[in-house]
A and B are shown apart, each in its own frame.
Chain A
């Protein structure tokens, strides 16, 4: 059975797609799954930097598509985690060096070898987005708790649905409980009420993420820390385990209520 091709997307840039891809991928690989990360942000690659694999790149995605390298040659094996591979983007090429048909072929070939193929999407809704979603079986939408980011997430969800990526799931990144409590930040239920999709996880805003990123080491690999925990939680929920969304002191009740509300929206046909 081929693996699942999952696109990580957002609409607005800088909300944490690349960080999410790196951590979800590393987390899945730690669980023993075979995982390949694809950096589809051609021209602005940075998944390799976040993974600390920049100095190992010989070939990239465009080299594979244009036949200069075989897929296996271009895949970079992660230096820490068994079963984790990266297909880097080309730094120097234009976005239109690849088309959706080629991306479909590429992801299909990878899905033969891997349990999960995670595609890190570029920002925006144009060519790069079409490439990133081309071969995807499912989509994860990342947003921060900001009005503009949520608006763009909504836009993207509409576009995913139009492409038959029906039930995209949501990751809310960089939440700050202190600001939410003061009413200075959008609440989780405000966001869910607008986007009306399933919430897969909530990641706190934490400088540990930035420090880890600068070291080229996904934070999920750390043994302790609330972000590492939040990402492990995300991995579990992604794998279908019924774990509560990371307890954000006092917010779990609210989340329970939200989840039951979501479930209600997908009530089976009664007849």
Chain B
């Protein structure tokens, strides 16, 4: 009996191609919309996570001042001293790596090419804190750091603009009027939430302090928290230590701030997740509308096919068989629509993801759920009109015009 109804269902689909196409169209659009939206949304979330982790996973940034938008006039709070760095390294538990940073902006010159960029003075620990990798060449050697030699590692943006096709490693360029030797090129990090992270020149901190800033002050200390420790705990002991070292009395406000990258990470990830959910919900509604479209066309087609149902019943079809035929038709159409929808979503996601600068992430679960949902819509929305068709009296059905 199932074999018979399957044959009949396929014959009916084949004979009424336009009707079948219109029936599936709703599901195709619904499934394609849901899967594309969710896939791109997941890609966006992943991209945001990626950018955040490019800031360095779970890094505390220690800066002078009261943080963004706080503290007004008064004298500028003092920078940190090398002794602060040593204290953090030696007295704080739960720290994976500590890197001092001094920033300075200036122009780099190589064979007549100029490029305005940011100079970071830091130590090799920086690469550990920020998880930066060197793509060509090498990191600083201990003696270069110790002596504050004039060596630098450049980001890819600097490489492109300054060296244009030439191989930079081993070359000498000028930065802020001082000659320095390029020893390495950083692996591309892309557009972070904080500007082009490849537009940098990294030099030993001692060199930057001696030649550019003129003192031994440190403007920022990056503290990478050991994964085994809670960053909030480490943060409060860091604050405790700094209050002590900077002699802030109980009740007085801090003249420094600690910024936890995990917070932005959590906030941004949360936001994109919510966005994905909203977009997914909108798309799910379109899937539902597609399902109602199927039901509509099924209802219309039952009305249109009432005489046909009458003929089938008259020549001896049992109501169950007519019901089965309509059900199989509905399931086949919605599964087919689901598959086409998944395929279109795949094409659309692969095409759109690079335009949005997000990675394409194929999510088996999303695809499976959308497909099963479209099949379920076929069963549900195919069943009710089919039941109506099968319940008809053959005489009434035959008389139907």
A, B bound: no
